Structure 1
Amino acid sequence: MHPVAFIVYPGFELLDTSGPASVFNGANRALGQRGKPAFYQIGLVSAEGGAVESSSGVAVETQAIAECRPGAVRTVLVAGAEREHLLPAVADPALRAALPQLVREAERFGAVCTGGFLLAALGLLDGRRVATHWDACKPFAAAFPKVTVDPDALYVVDGRLWTSAGVTTGIDMALAMIGRDLDATIAGEVAKRLVLYARRPGYQSQFSPLLRAQVKGDSPFAELIGWMQANLDAPLDVPSLAARAGMTERTFHRKFVAATGETPARFVEIVRLDAARMLLSRGLSLKSISAQVGLFPPARLADAFERRFGVAPRLFRDMHADLQA
Structure 2
Amino acid sequence: MPSRLRQVALLAFDGVQVLDVTGPAAVFGAANDAAVHLTGSPFYRLHILSPQGGHVTSNCGLALVTAPLAGLKPGALDTVLVAGGSKRGLQALAQDVAAQAWLRRACARARRYGSVCTGAFALAACGLLDGKRVATHWEATDILGRTYPGVEVDANALYVEDGRTWTSAGVTTGIDMCLALVARDLGDAVANAIARRLVLYARRPGYQSQFSTVLAAQEKADAPFAGLVDWIRAHLDDALDVASLAARAGMSPRTFHRRFTDAMGETPARFVETLRLDHARGLLQTTLALKSVAAQTGYPTPAQLSKAFARRFGVSPGLFRAMHRDGPATP
Quick one: distance in 2 between partners of 1:92 and 1:255? 53
Give the 3 Å change call, closer, same or farther, for CA 263–126 of structure 1 in structure 2: farther
1:122 matched to which residue of 2?
Answer: 126
Distance 2:42 2:145 in 1: 39
Q: 1:257 to 1:217 in 2, by over 3 A?
A: closer
Residue 296 of structure 1 and its aligned partner are, at CA, apart by: 3.8
Gaps of 5+ in 2: none
Aligned to 1:319: 323
- Residue in 2 aligned with 1:99? 103
Q: CA RMSD in A?
A: 2.9
Match of residue 18 from structure 2: 14
Distance 1:182 1:278, change over 3 A: closer
Residues 168-190 of structure 1: CA deviation (Å, up to 9, x unaligned): 22222222222222334443443
Within the candidate set 67, 74, 78, 1:74 is matched to 78
Contact 1:281-1:324 at 8 Å conserved across structures: no
Shift of residue 162, structure 1, vs aligned partner: 1.1
Is 1:304–2:319 an aligned residue pair? no
2:271 alignment partner, one of 250, 267, 273: 267
- Give 1:176's aligned amino acid: A
Structure 1, unmatched stretches of 5+, are none
Q: What SS class does the counterpart of residue 27 from structure 1 fall into? A: helix
Please state if 1:278 is matched with 2:262: no
- State the TM-score, normalizing by the size of structure 2: 0.84
- Structure 2 CA distance for aligned equivalents of residues 18 and 135 of structure 1: 21
The residue type paired with residue 114 of structure 2 is G
TM-aligned CA distance change 1:304 to 1:137, over 3 Å: farther
Deviation larger for 122-131 or 100-109: 122-131
Q: Distance in 1 between matches of 2:260 and 2:92?
A: 41
User: SS of the counterpart of 1:190?
Assistant: helix
Residue equivalent to 1:154: 158
Partners of 1:191 and 1:292 in 2: CA distance: 23
Q: Deviations over 1:14-59 (max 9, x none)?
A: 1211121122222223333345433212112222222111122221
Tell me: CA distance 1:200–1:223, structure 2 relative to 1, closer, same or farther (3 Å).
same
- Superposed displacement of residue 313, structure 1: 0.2
Could you say if the C-alpha distance between residues 243 and 89 of structure 1 is closer, same or farther in structure 2, counting changes exceeding 3 Å?
A: farther
Contact 2:79 2:110 in 1 (8 A): yes
- Name the aligned partner's letter for residue 191 of structure 2: A
Change (3 A) 1:246 1:148: farther
Q: Does 1:109 align with 2:131?
A: no
Q: CA deviation at 1:247?
A: 4.5
Query: What letter is aligned with 1:165?
Result: A
Question: Displacement of 1:157 after TM fit?
Answer: 1.6
From 207, 212, 235, the equivalent of 2:211 is 207
What pairs up with 1:44-193 in 2 under 5 angstroms? 44-193=48-197
In the alignment, residue 115 of structure 2 is paired with which amino acid?
A: A
CA 1:186–1:247 in 2, change beyond 3 Å: closer, same or farther? closer
Corresponding residue SS for 1:119: helix
C-alpha contact 1:290 1:296 (8 A) present in aligned 2:
yes
Contact 2:221–2:263 at 8 Å: present in 1 too?
Answer: no
- Over 3 Å counting, the alpha-carbon distance change for 1:127 and 1:324 in structure 2 is farther
| Cα shift readout 1:228-269 (whole Å, capped 9, x = no counterpart) | 212223443445444543456565445434433333332222
Counterpart residue number, 2:30: 26
How far apart are the structure 2 equivalents of 1:26 and 1:324?
26
Q: Tell me the TM-score normalised to structure 1 length.
A: 0.85
Contact conserved, 1:5 with 1:44, CA < 8 A, in 2? yes
1:293 — aligned with what? 297
SS of 2:231 mapped into structure 1: helix
Separation of aligned partners in 2, 1:149 and 1:164? 11
Once the two structures are superposed, what CA deviation does each residue of 1:285-320 show, in whole Å capped at 9, x if it has no partner? 333332332334432321221232232101222333
Q: Which moved more, 1:137-146 or 1:109-118?
A: 137-146
State, as a whole percentage, how many aligned pairs show the same letter: 55
Q: Distance in 2 between matches of 1:108 and 1:164?
A: 14
Amino acid at match of 2:52: E
Shift, 1:214, TM fit: 1.0
Partners of 2:328 and 2:89 lie apart in 1 by: 36
C-alpha distance in 2 between matches for 1:144 and 1:217: 36
Give the SS at the match of 1:215.
Answer: helix
Instruction: Please tell me whether the aligned partners of residues 5 and 45 of structure 1 are also in contact (alpha carbons under 8 angstroms).
Output: yes
Q: 1:272: Cα distance to partner?
A: 1.3
Moved more, 68-77 or 127-136: 127-136
